[in-house]
């Protein structure tokens, strides 16, 4: 698998202001990281600007705060977008953040067709698990397909979606549910792309995937193998894709954040190493290894560096990277792979019977399955049927670790910055761009060119998302417990 | 016989990580309590007004985003203003040790950090 080149070492990172995060990126690149991965804060994920009432207390906390092109320019200051691939973990406002990235590239003089990277853009998993949705499913899917279409014309090296099981798993699903729901989401995206009239072999090779690397070592490897196998059959036999590139499932993996313990946090380094090894043996194309302090906070620089070193040891010292699918043929692993494959097809049938993934989401089917599984898992821990070292077994006094704290000043600073931007830009140009965006949204035109124009005029994220909220409405989920 | 304990489980802020809130809601229900789960993205005003309407004994706030130092004081202030001082407020989620004294100071009855067992939470709510 890695004979041509190693996987991309892509550490998910972002906190505080764009300047602080820019410094962390330069540090990680200096230390041998090979791709960037942007973590946005919750207001950005939800399409709110710093200063919006809903954003109070959350600016810069779980990621970097980006409210406009001005912030995005600072985030990538001194980083040549032509030469580095960037993944952006953003879904509901993915089209807006991607437009900002494209305009930063434009300003750097980097041609769009040279840009490599990924936008997460997986709105279905938001409804299912991560819950950072804004609009109802159908207009959200339109935005996603707009990016597919735009990408297939302008950014041939950019993955316009990362179909994600990670958040489904972190919300408490089993490995099988993660596999099945993610691939069924993939099928839904392909169907929507085809309905738009896109050429399958044009957009299918730009679909990428993202899985969790959890604790159960062999089951995880089997899950990655099963995913590749199922996707190849789905693309070739169900959709009739001609190009081999369309059959290939390429995936990013991240070690499982939900398995990290607040107790004896240094032990997390061991958990992460085992999970990362499973991802590599399972053939990931890029990998994030969690830092040992992440049950408590975003990682300190020291913890982030240890996490990166973990991958480097696996890549360069362990010798596991030299053979494609090294566990293929093991009776146990082949059995596990086959079982997961069969289980996934059974879930596909149940979802088809509900009318596809969107009706399944609307009736709460995947959410109920996940809630059941997560409760079962917790009960196993409570009863001692499943031992978590340091939590319900082998407890000992913890030695405290240093954790990263986000300065309260960050929020004030970002709020001032947005206010200043609004005072300095041409508000007339912004209004015109937002008006065009609203009209395009009411019709059927691709929204990407309109978003790009709004971004160039320095319209804020909140203004763009707010404009579309007026046309599309907002989504309220039926609560499932 | 006294009525069962009524508990409001709430997710304030923008965070969508609701696994913990849902697991706790279910565990409390299995322990015989009446549980109301608010769903996501509740403002402090929405939470306190729901607590008042539902006449609950306990409010459990689930916060994983690091926004607790902003959200909890607002909830506590609104509770005091609504004359609901007898309602116990508990906070669960990612709360660093260093923040605990200030939260207790403003009247939070209990703080549950990662790894707390469901059994422990049930016992504490029952006042055992």
Instruction: Print the domain residue range for B34.
Output: 6-125
Residue for token pair 């990680």? A28
Beta-carbon separation of A58 and B67 below 8 A: yes
Beta-carbon separation of A374 and B27 below 8 A: no
- Separation of alpha carbons A204 and A208, rounded Å: 9
Kind and range of the H or E element at A251?
strand A251-255
List of chain A residues whose C-beta atoms are within 8 Å of the C-beta of residue B22: 371, 374-375, 480-481
Among B66, B72, B102, the strongest candidate for a mutation testing the A interface, having the largest count of A CBs within 10 A, is B66
Beta-carbon separation of B16 and A130 below 8 A: yes
Beta-carbon separation of A132 and B94 below 8 A: no
Which CATH number is A8-382 given?
A: 3.20.20.240
Task: Classify A391 as helix, strand or coil.
Answer: coil
Among A47, A48, A63, A131, the strongest candidate for a mutation testing the B interface, having the largest count of B CBs within 10 A, is A131
Residue for token pair 């972002």? A14
B27 part of a folded domain: yes
List of chain A residues whose C-beta atoms are within 8 Å of the C-beta of residue B67: 56-58, 61
Beta-carbon separation of B19 and A391 below 8 A: no
- Separation of alpha carbons A242 and A297, rounded Å: 46
Picking from A131, A296, A371, the nearest residue to B40 by CB comes out as: A131
The contact set of A with B (CB < 8 A) is: 42-43, 45-46, 48, 54-58, 61-62, 126, 130-132, 170-172, 258, 261-263, 295-297, 371, 374-375, 378, 381-382, 388, 390-392, 400, 403, 405-406, 477, 479-481
Residue A375 CA to chain centroid, in angstroms? 25
- Separation of alpha carbons B104 and A212, rounded Å: 36
List of chain A residues whose C-beta atoms are within 8 Å of the C-beta of residue B40: 131, 477
Q: Where are the domains of chain A?
A: 8-382
B66 part of a folded domain: yes
Low-confidence ranges of chain A (pLDDT < 50): none
- Whether residue A226 contacts residue A340, with contact meaning beta carbons closer than 8 Å, is answered with yes
- Whether residue A182 contacts residue A211, with contact meaning beta carbons closer than 8 Å, is answered with yes
| Predicted confidence (pLDDT) per residue in A116-167, tens digit | 999 999 999 999 999 999 999 999 999 999 999 999 999 999 999 999 999 9
Is the pLDDT score of B65 beyond 60?
yes
| Predicted confidence (pLDDT) per residue in A318-362, tens digit | 999 999 999 999 999 999 999 999 999 999 999 999 999 999 999
CATH for B20: 3.40.50.280
- Whether residue A370 contacts residue A132, with contact meaning beta carbons closer than 8 Å, is answered with no
- Whether residue B43 contacts residue A30, with contact meaning beta carbons closer than 8 Å, is answered with no
| Predicted confidence (pLDDT) per residue in A261-304, tens digit | 999 999 999 999 999 999 999 999 999 999 999 999 999 999 99
- Whether residue A479 contacts residue B39, with contact meaning beta carbons closer than 8 Å, is answered with yes
Residue A459 CA to chain centroid, in angstroms? 25
pLDDT of the residue at A33: 85
List of chain A residues whose C-beta atoms are within 8 Å of the C-beta of residue B37: 479, 481
Contacts of A441 (CB under 8 A, 6+ apart): A139, A447, A467, A468, A471, A472
The ipTM, to two decimals, is 0.94
Q: pTM for the whole thing?
A: 0.96
Number of domains in chain B: 1
Among A39, A57, A89, the strongest candidate for a mutation testing the B interface, having the largest count of B CBs within 10 A, is A57
B1 part of a folded domain: no
- Whether residue A147 contacts residue A95, with contact meaning beta carbons closer than 8 Å, is answered with yes
């Amino acid at each position: 698998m890695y004979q041509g080149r190693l996987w991309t070492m892509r550490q998910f990172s972002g906190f505080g202001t764009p300047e602080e995060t820019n410094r962390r990126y330069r540090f990680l690149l200096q230390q041998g990281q090979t791709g960037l991965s942007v973590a946005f804060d919750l207001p950005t994920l939800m399409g709110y600007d710093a200063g919006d009432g809903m954003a109070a207390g959350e600016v810069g906390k779980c990621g970097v705060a980006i409210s406009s092109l001005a912030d995005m320019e600072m985030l990538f200051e001194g980083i040549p977008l032509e030469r580095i691939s960037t993944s952006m973990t953003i879904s509901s406002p993915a089209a807006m953040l991607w437009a900002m990235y494209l305009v930063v590239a434009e300003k750097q003089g980097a041609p769009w067709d040279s840009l490599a990277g990924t936008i997460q853009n997986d709105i279905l998993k938001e409804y299912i698990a991560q819950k950072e949705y804004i609009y109802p499913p159908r207009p959200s899917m339109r935005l996603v397909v707009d990016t597919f279409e735009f990408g297939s014309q302008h950014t041939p090296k950019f993955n316009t979606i990362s179909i994600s099981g990670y958040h489904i798993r972190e919300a408490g699903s089993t490995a099988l549910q993660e596999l099945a729901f993610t691939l069924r989401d993939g099928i839904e995206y392909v169907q929507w792309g085809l309905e738009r009239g896109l050429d399958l072999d044009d957009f299918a090779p730009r679909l990428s995937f993202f899985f969790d690397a959890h604790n159960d070592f062999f089951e995880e490897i089997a899950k990655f193998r099963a995913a590749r196998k199922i996707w190849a059959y789905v693309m070739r036999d169900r959709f009739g894709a001609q190009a081999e590139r369309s059959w290939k499932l390429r995936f990013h993996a991240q070690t499982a954040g939900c398995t990290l313990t607040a107790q004896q946090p240094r032990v997390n380094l061991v958990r992460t190493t085992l999970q990362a090894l499973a991802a590599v043996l399972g053939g990931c194309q890029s990998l994030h290894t969690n830092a040992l302090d992440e049950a408590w906070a975003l990682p300190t620089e020291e913890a982030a560096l240890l996490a990166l070193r973990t991958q480097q040891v696996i890549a360069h010292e362990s010798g596991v990277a030299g053979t494609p699918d090294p566990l293929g043929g093991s009776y146990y692993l082949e059995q596990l792979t086959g079982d997961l494959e069969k289980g996934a097809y059974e879930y596909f049938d149940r979802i088809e019977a509900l009318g596809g993934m969107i009706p399944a989401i609307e009736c709460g089917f995947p959410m109920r399955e996940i809630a059941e599984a997560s409760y079962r898992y917790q009960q196993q821990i409570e009863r001692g049927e499943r031992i978590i070292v340091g939590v319900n077994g082998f407890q000992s006094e913890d030695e405290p670790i240093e954790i990263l704290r986000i300065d309260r000043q960050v929020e004030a600073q970002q709020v001032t910055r947005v206010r200043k931007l609004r005072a300095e830009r041409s508000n007339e140009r912004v209004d015109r761009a937002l008006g065009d965006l609203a009209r395009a949204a009411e019709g059927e035109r691709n929204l990407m060119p309109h978003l790009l124009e709004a971004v160039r005029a320095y319209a804020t994220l909140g203004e763009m998302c707010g404009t579309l909220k007026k046309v599309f409405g907002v989504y309220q989920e039926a609560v499932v417990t | 016989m006294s009525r069962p304990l009524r508990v409001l489980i709430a997710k304030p802020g923008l965070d969508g990580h609701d696994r913990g809130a849902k697991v706790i809601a279910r565990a409390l229900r299995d322990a015989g309590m009446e549980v109301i789960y608010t769903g996501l993205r509740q403002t402090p005003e929405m939470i306190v007004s729901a607590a008042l309407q539902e006449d609950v004994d306990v409010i459990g706030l689930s916060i994983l985003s690091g926004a607790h130092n902003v959200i909890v004081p607002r909830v506590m202030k609104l509770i005091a203003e609504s004359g609901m001082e007898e309602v116990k407020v508990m906070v669960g989620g990612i709360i660093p040790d260093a923040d605990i004294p200030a939260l207790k100071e403003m009247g939070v009855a209990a703080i549950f950090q990662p790894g707390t067992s469901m059994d422990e939470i049930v016992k504490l709510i029952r006042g055992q």
